[in-house]
Structure 1
């Protein structure tokens, strides 16, 4: 089995845990930007220590980070922040179901952006797997009903749809940017390149969003510092999940990694059924079946 497959599944599982902790932070009083920044601020030191510790222990030469590396990394890091904000903004609109669906175009857009910027190609079989998974994700998301009294044109072309498509595009830019940055490093094994790229990305995100909070949300940084009991474990899960994603991006095209990473929604579904004892609709069960079919097809085409 190719290494990127178990690494991606591990990353998706850790991301699921991180979302649970981040959701708890949001309901305890932090703003959306504050809860997002806590993820970067608490994971950045851990990632840096791990990356440079591994560099020292492995005895490898430090890879040179040239202009190409930063040209991929900075847009990827900023794109991830902006994409998250777009998703949050969706929920302020009454007619957001179409926007939520458009946000799920992330995998498809990752394939297009990867082809344009990196020349990454995807086989017909994997294209089919991505398409099946996309339908499953849309079914499993099952957003609340929109305002169906509005004309179709207004339901499709509105600010919510714009935010949804923007988030899918920005998440695609982020994934391809991280893969491009890791591949731009001129030396080092897979884990070294992935960890150093992640260290640079979290440093950029911590600094950028930290400056935003300092000027636009006075006092939020202090509230993040006071939330360390939850923020610190969240930083740990964020580091582990991100290391998985970055390692997988170094080994495989972003679109295929993101397609397999949709297994995270299956983890969330299982938690809701077996832990929270929530009842599932036929639509949700159908979505899980399609995602599992997509994952099975990816296994078959990759192993």
Structure 2
């Protein structure tokens, strides 16, 4: 049951990181905010990995082609997922943006049915229906239907990319024959390293001004990276210990942390419609995996 405290820690630190990203998104574009998530996380992850080997020495891993492909896939999917979620923050409130991105759990279930041989019973399909209603309730409320549809599609795309990230991370973890803490740390270092390299290279080429803006907000950028590295480490460890569906279902408690941070810290007003949508997303995720818990 060790995966439970790791998942709870991941959910809280992720909610905290998202709130900080919402603050930065007022000044910096989506890719810049995405880079803030990773840039200090790489040295932090390296220090953590070094500390693990000091406390519990073990052999160095062999990185197979399957590991590398899954690590690259997870890294790129997480970049896209984060950038899309920041776009949601810029269109809607923090809580609503997170809520739409939490369609991840539903999309992971659908991917499992379509490609991984997962069988959903009536309760599971009812959960997906509830989740669909939740996403409809939280759709954008702009002046035109095109804005509403685009906001909805961004949310679903973000959730899809987060789902793919988690599936590829779990696959990468299973390629390494090491203690579970070391395994999660190695996958974390590889994915963050790829993400920093890709984002810094892109911004240097296309938008160096964004790097300057990040340089001018060192405290906020460091806090985002710190909470991000803690969240990723806990997620990676949890999915290495337990099935993705169970981890992501318990992780939906992030919705509650999100509502608290949105109201008490960011001072945002969350509409009753969006509150209902957030609760239904939580309920739908529980229904999807309930048969496996009985």
Which interval holds the TM-score relative to the shorter structure?
A: 0.7 to 0.9
CA drift of 1:259 comes to: 2.9
Structure 1 residues 133 and 212, CA gap change in structure 2 (3 angstroms)? farther
Aligned partners of 2:66 and 2:175 also within 8 Å: yes
Aligned partners of 2:73 and 2:168 also within 8 Å: yes
Pick which of 135-144 and 54-63 moved more: 135-144
The equivalent residue for 2:71 is 73
1:52-91 correspondence runs (5 A): 52-88=50-86
Long gaps (5+) in structure 1:
none
CA drift of 1:246 comes to: 0.7
Using the alignment, how far apart are the partners of 1:90 and 1:285 within structure 2? 16
TM-score, normalised by the number of residues in structure 1: 0.78
Is 1:223 the counterpart of 2:221? The answer is: no
Measured against aligned partners, the alpha-carbon deviations of 1:242-288 in whole angstroms (never above 9, x if no partner) come to 11111112122333322332221211213344566766554345345
Q: 1:204 aligns with which of 194, 197, 204?
A: 194
What SS does the corresponding residue of 2:25 show, helix, strand or coil? Answer: helix
Using the alignment, how far apart are the partners of 1:183 and 1:26 within structure 2? 35
1:210-249 correspondence runs (5 A): 210-249=200-239
Aligned length, in residue pairs? 289
Structure 1 residues 116 and 183, CA gap change in structure 2 (3 angstroms)? farther
Pick which of 30-39 and 269-278 moved more: 269-278
Measured against aligned partners, the alpha-carbon deviations of 1:123-155 in whole angstroms (never above 9, x if no partner) come to 64983695377358537746425625x7xxx97
CA drift of 1:79 comes to: 1.0
What SS does the corresponding residue of 2:66 show, helix, strand or coil? Answer: helix
The equivalent residue for 1:144 is 141
Q: 2:162 aligns with which of 171, 194, 201?
A: 171
Long gaps (5+) in structure 2:
none
Structure 1 residues 120 and 188, CA gap change in structure 2 (3 angstroms)? farther
Aligned-residue RMSD, C-alpha: 3.7
TM-score, normalised by the number of residues in structure 2: 0.80
Is 1:32 the counterpart of 2:30? The answer is: yes
Measured against aligned partners, the alpha-carbon deviations of 1:14-59 in whole angstroms (never above 9, x if no partner) come to 01111122222232x3332112112111111001110122023201
1:44-59 correspondence runs (5 A): 44-59=42-57
What SS does the corresponding residue of 1:184 show, helix, strand or coil? Answer: coil
Structure 1 residues 100 and 144, CA gap change in structure 2 (3 angstroms)? farther
The equivalent residue for 2:183 is 193
Aligned partners of 1:22 and 1:234 also within 8 Å: yes
Structure 1 residues 302 and 282, CA gap change in structure 2 (3 angstroms)? same
Aligned partners of 1:140 and 1:285 also within 8 Å: no
The equivalent residue for 1:23 is 22
Using the alignment, how far apart are the partners of 2:131 and 2:285 within structure 1? 11
Aligned partners of 2:7 and 2:234 also within 8 Å: yes
Using the alignment, how far apart are the partners of 1:72 and 1:11 within structure 2? 21
